């Protein structure tokens, strides 16, 4: 092989190896869970969670169903009651859950951003919870 063809061949081989490495590594924002594809839902991931003054960047994955087996919305989020009330506006969905360890509202925006605002405890031991993250596209049956 001539010296003038060695460099382009090495560049092509390097590009192929890098492309395969990126393809095999998977998504960096994969929520890591899947919902029941028989019901419309969002698979979401919280990237920043604050409980009072304690904040964490450890991802928390959850599923928000627009309707589930019983025809009602459902929120599969740790420490929240799965039964939720759903309110839809032109630019967002509000999932309100009141009977779990945490009571609050999870807002999923039509651009797939997600915010959480809630409380736990009562009286002097009331703790506020805040979170933000993102959701995958709506999965429809």
Q: Which parts of the chain sit beneath pLDDT 70?
A: 1-3, 22-32
pLDDT at res. 41: 95
> Does some domain include residue 72?
yes
pLDDT at res. 19: 78
Burial of residue 128, with CB atoms counted within 10 A of its CB: 0-12 exposed, 13-18 middle, 19 or more buried: middle
pLDDT at res. 34: 73
Structure tokens that stand for 111 in this block: 């651009």
> Does some domain include residue 11?
no
For residue 73, give the CATH number of its domain: 2.40.160
> Does some domain include residue 95?
yes
> Does some domain include residue 32?
no
> Does some domain include residue 19?
no
CA distances from 104 to 34, 66, 119 (A): 23, 17, 6
51: domain range? 41-135
Q: How many domains does the chain have?
A: 1
pLDDT at res. 25: 63
pLDDT at res. 122: 86
> Does some domain include residue 22?
no
> Does some domain include residue 36?
no
pLDDT at res. 2: 60
> Does some domain include residue 29?
no
d(CA 39, CA 42): 10
Structure tokens that stand for 109 in this block: 């925006």
pLDDT at res. 3: 65
pLDDT at res. 123: 85
Burial 66-98 (b: 16+ CB within 10 A, else e): bebeeeebbbbbeebebbbebeeeeeebebbbe
pTM metric for this prediction: 0.76
């Amino acid at each position: 092989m001539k010296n003038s063809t060695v460099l382009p061949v090495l560049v092509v081989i390097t590009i192929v190896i890098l492309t395969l490495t990126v393809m095999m590594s998977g998504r960096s924002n994969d929520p890591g869970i899947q919902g029941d594809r028989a019901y419309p839902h969002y698979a979401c991931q919280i990237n920043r969670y604050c409980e009072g003054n304690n904040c964490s960047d450890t991802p928390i994955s959850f599923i928000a169903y627009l309707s589930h087996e019983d025809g009602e919305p459902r929120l599969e989020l740790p420490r929240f009651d799965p039964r939720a009330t759903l309110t839809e506006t032109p630019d967002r969905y509000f999932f309100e859950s009141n009977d779990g360890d945490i009571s609050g509202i999870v807002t999923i925006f039509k651009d797939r951003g997600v915010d959480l605002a809630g409380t736990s405890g009562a009286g002097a031991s009331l703790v506020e919870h805040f979170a933000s993250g993102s959701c995958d596209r709506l999965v429809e049956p």
